[in-house]
Amino acid sequence: MHPKLPTLPEELRSIIRRFYSNPIKVDKNQEHHDLRKTSLTESETVVLAQLAYQTSPAGSLEIGLALAASCISIAAVRKHLELANEHVALDPFQETLSGSVGLLEIEREGLKKYVRWVPERSEDYLPGARARGETYDFVFIDGGHGIGQVVADAFLSDRVLNAGGVIVFHDGLLFSTLAAIKYLVQECEYVPINLPSDSTIKSMLRRGKYLVKLGPWYAAHVVPKMHGSLVALRKPLSN
């Protein structure tokens, strides 16, 4: 049995509510980006923040900054808990494809000093991070969604994640994410974390739907523990 996720302090919950109160975000070029099309849902963001709050990570990292929903929630947790290190956000496309909208949103929330944006690809940054001795207790993966990219992100993140640390994936109902999760669970002995269920009926329907699409192992061991499209795994204390 995994412990129930903690209730977020109202200060953190209000930051997330405020961020989602207007789903249209404006970038430096005055172009509009809709949270509802590309980002975590508000409910998923709350669960992500609960996981970060529970972990209280000395080091945290995410792959894929985009509109900054995840980054703001994790950085807000770091601020609230007065954790020393900056949250590292990898995104080589923030200034080009995203018009710096994520960075602008982080600044609007007063969280700029709690975030270190790195405009590098994960496959370039993470090997260097390992060589430098950087380690993390919390990693959120929501970058490229091809099989090679997600599996590489899982493999490289495992190499910088401390024992007992947590990896969270968005888009957990994609075959590419399944491949990454299966690698971590079956070969690295990670354990899926029970996340708050959307509803019993929705969970059962989703389990049946993805039994064929993603296979019986995933439908039985991972899908029932998801929240929305979030999957969270805990690294074993020893391999």
For the chain, the structural domain boundaries read 10-234
The predicted pLDDT at position 2 comes to 47
CA distance 39 to 37: 6
Residue 203 has pLDDT above 80, yes or no: no
> Based on C-alpha coordinates, what's the Rg of the chain?
17
Kindly report, residue by residue over 45-86, the tens digit of the pLDDT: 999 999 999 999 999 999 999 999 999 999 999 999 999 999
Mean pLDDT of 151-161: 98
The predicted pLDDT at position 207 comes to 65
pLDDT band at 211 (very low <50, low <70, confident <90, very high): confident
Rounded to whole angstroms, what are the CA distances from 109 to 18, 64, 88, 104? 9, 19, 17, 9
Phi/psi for 227 (5° steps) reads -125, 115
Biggest CA–CA distance in the chain, Å, is 49
The predicted pLDDT at position 39 comes to 94
Phi/psi for 192 (5° steps) reads -60, 140
Among 16-25, 160-169, 190-199, the range scoring the smallest mean pLDDT is 190-199
The predicted pLDDT at position 212 comes to 73
The predicted pLDDT at position 28 comes to 96
pLDDT band at 103 (very low <50, low <70, confident <90, very high): very high
What the block records as the tokens of 186 is 């079956």
CA distance 226 to 107: 31
The predicted pLDDT at position 238 comes to 78
121 CB-near residues (< 8 Å, 6+ apart): 90, 92
Strand pairing report for 60-63 and 32-34: unpaired
Residue 105 has pLDDT above 50, yes or no: yes
Kindly report, residue by residue over 8-31, the tens digit of the pLDDT: 999 999 999 999 999 999 999 999
Residue 1 has pLDDT above 50, yes or no: no
Note the CATH architecture for domain 10-234: 3-Layer(aba) Sandwich (3.40)
pLDDT band at 197 (very low <50, low <70, confident <90, very high): confident
The predicted pLDDT at position 151 comes to 98
Q: What is the mean pLDDT of the chain?
A: 94
